[in-house]
Amino acid sequence: MNHSITSHPCDKLSLAQLTELAQSGNSEAQYILGRLYNDERIDGSEEDKLSFYWLQKAAEQGHCEAQYWLGLRYSDTPTSMKDNAKASYWLEKAARQGHKLAPNDLGWVLEGETGSEPDYTQAVFWYRVGTERGYSYAQNNLGKMYEGGDGVEKNHQLAFYWYKQAALQGDATAQDNLA
């Protein structure tokens, strides 16, 4: 059974129209194509390469969501496309445009969680940006940094504070950290 995004005749027409828009330079169409190919990809497949291609096109035009997703793709792909420097670059672009989730994911990359050399001070900086945007994962991660003394002076009161902020938003990991 064919599960690609072009398997249905109606989808082929929509995909052709979307591709035409993307090829004409429409960043939203490029982003949508990048996400469609991302959602249907098998790592290393043609869809995987097309996902990177279209997200890159949109990201280069300043499309914030495309920058975020391209950063995620570079940080989490198990293929030779994995590149933590590019992940950091695109996640920072999205974070500086105000993307709510990007600072946390950038902190995660900078903390070394995706295989890069850790830069705890920068990870803390970006987790703080995420906390200012009210993102519970960033609050929990900042709490973890205070608890371990990574990039900041160890401070159990601040760790508790940030875990509690995240837990109040329903973050299960933060709730476990408080237990």
User: What are the tens digits of pLDDT across the range 53-85?
Assistant: 999 999 999 999 999 999 999 998 887 888 999
Q: Is residue 171 part of a domain?
A: yes
Closest CA to 92 of 77, 74, 79: 74
pLDDT of residue 60: 98
| Residue 121 shares a structural domain with residue 158 | yes
In a domain, 147, yes or no: yes
Among 49, 65, 90, identify where a domain stops.
90
Q: How far is CA 103 from CA 76, 93, 108, 115, 161, in A?
A: 16, 10, 9, 18, 19
User: What average pLDDT does the chain have?
Assistant: 91
pTM: 0.88
- At residue 14, the pLDDT reads 85
Which residue did the predictor score with more confidence, 81 or 34?
34
Residues 113, 175, single domain; the answer is yes
End-to-end Cα distance, the chain: 47
Residue 166 in any domain: the answer is yes
For tokens 């995620």, the residue is 72
147 and 112, same domain (yes or no): yes
Q: Answer yes or no: is 95 within a domain.
A: no
Looking at residues 22-27, what average pLDDT do you find?
97
24 lies in which domain range? 9-90
What are the pLDDT digits (tens) for 115-174?
889 999 999 999 999 999 999 999 999 999 999 999 999 999 999 999 999 999 999 999
Domain boundary among 34, 69, 90: 90
Q: Is 1 a member of any domain?
A: no
Q: Are 106 and 95 in contact (CB under 8 A)?
A: yes
Same domain for 83 and 108: no
Cα–Cα distance for residue pair 56/63, rounded to 1 Å: 10
**In a shared domain, residues 58 and 122:** no
- Same domain for 63 and 84, yes or no, is yes
End-of-domain residue from the set 90, 121, 138: 90
Query: Do residues 79 and 115 both lie within one domain?
Result: no
Q: Determine, yes or no, domain membership for 39.
A: yes
Residues 74 and 132 in one domain: no
- Work out how many domains the chain is built from and give that number: 2
Query: Does residue 97 register a pLDDT over 80?
Result: yes
Percent of the chain with pLDDT over 90: 76
Identify whether the C-beta of residue 109 lies closer than 8 Å to the C-beta of residue 89.
no
In this prediction, residue 41 has a pLDDT band, given cuts at 50, 70 and 90, of low
Phi, psi of 168 (to 5 degrees): -65, -20
165 φ/ψ angles, rounded to the nearest 5 degrees: -60, -45
Contact 24, 55 (CB under 8 A): no
- The verdict on 53 and 71 lying in the same domain is yes
